[in-house]
Amino acid sequence: MKKIFFASVMALSILSCRENKADDSPADNVIDNAGSLVSGSLKSYRGDEVTVNSIYFKLIKNDKNLTALNTKIVDTFEETEKTLAVYRNILNTSTSYYQDAHQQTKSITDSLVRQQVEKEITASSDQYDLKVKNIKERMDLINKNSETLTSLYTAFKIRKTLPEIEKYQHAHPLQKDSLDHFINKQNKLLEELKNLK
């Protein structure tokens, strides 16, 4: 599950960083331009909804420091996955072997031999677990650090984009006048229908 989560974060980041078109639009805020400049894969499942990521990755295009930070984070996730994949493969191979060995002992008909083989498998498995205990602890720490990195980066992106949504809201103030006018229009039509015989 963690692997899928980190892979999706990496894919999202890589996709956004590879989009390097120049911004020729003169709009006052990032959000009004985000829809046309952000790749379709960054849009919400509900359509053209603007998201934290769509705004943030628009900001990246205009800020070398943010681009460098994003690249550093993406590279770290990629390196983490490559490194852990090697260790996971070796550990999973051993786990798979011991599970199969335990399963296969069920076919041994001599109960004394079966018990002896079970003890040998368990002893070997326990010995291996002791050998790799420090490795597993370090892998857990790497995963925990990756989760913390993801959390902190998400918080950073939200804080960076909050001013942009506020600029958008300021540029598009909502007035009740046109709604009141429309309600009056509806009410007149409703009255007209009520009076029809």
CA–CA gap between residue 65 and residue 60 (Å, rounded): 8
CA–CA gap between residue 98 and residue 122 (Å, rounded): 8
The pLDDT tens digits for 17-60 are 444 333 434 356 777 765 544 433 334 434 467 899 999 999 99
The pLDDT tens digits for 101-151 are 999 999 999 999 999 999 999 999 999 999 999 999 999 999 999 999 999
Task: Give the amino acid at 53.
Answer: N
What was the pLDDT predicted at 11? Answer: 45
| 197 — pLDDT class (breaks 50, 70, 90) | confident
For tokens 């460098």, the residue is 68
